[in-house]
Chain A
Amino acid sequence: GNSVTQMEGPVTLSEEAFLTINCTYTATGYPSLFWYVQYPGEGLQLLLKATKADDKGSNKGFEATYRKETTSFHLEKGSVQVSDSAVYFCALNGATGFQKLVFGTGTRLLVSP
């Protein structure tokens, strides 16, 4: 079945540091890939998505590229802010059948001033 593997957290960075959160997936065909963010005490918000190989999703300075050859969708940001502290979820929606998101375990990011 489909699955998503994310790096364990927490990831602790200082403000303005470079961020990478690794995400790899297992799926048949060409799934769509998503990054969702959950700020403390809130629900999930879509951060970015990519629906086909080599697509780059970007939003709020974050970006991720759909790499079919390495089955990866790593999240990057060049300069993090304290306000980026949250839990980040990588997810996929399978290419066939009814839609259902399969999530990774989430990675908590802590950014200190």
Chain B
Amino acid sequence: DTAVSQTPKYLVTQMGNDKSIKCEQNLGHDTMYWYKQDSKKFLKIMFSYNNKELIINETVPNRFSPKSPDKAHLNLHINSLELGDSAVYFCASSQGTSGSTDTQYFGPGTRLTVL
């Protein structure tokens, strides 16, 4: 059973296009996240949702719009793709929202390449 799944695994597209990445977790967690990993492997949080409500937005450009139809899904839509958006995007989930001890479980990642 896959705990946190993402689709697609690879995404190659042209500059200016709009694309979406989907994430689903079957762990029954309340909180989901999107992280971006750049070409140097550096990981940084982008968004966090708790029970479909946005709770963290780390100064990500407006072209990125997360959407959570229910607490098991958190999708990431990107408008007007730019070369600098090329990265690996990871979805994650955890049980709680605050307090530091919860473990975050990560999906396999989506490698986005913008040409």
Contacts and interface: CB of A to CB of B under 8 A. Distances in A.
A106 B38 CA distance: 12
Interface residues of B, number: 31
B100 A49 contact: no
Contacts, number: 74
B55 A98 contact: yes
A43 B108 contact: yes
B98 A31 contact: no
A9 B33 CA distance: 27
Given A93-B102, A99-B97, A100-B56, 4 more contacts: A96-B98, A98-B50, A98-B56, A100-B33
Contacts of A36: 106
B39 interface: no
A106 to B, nearest CB: 4
B101 A32 contact: yes
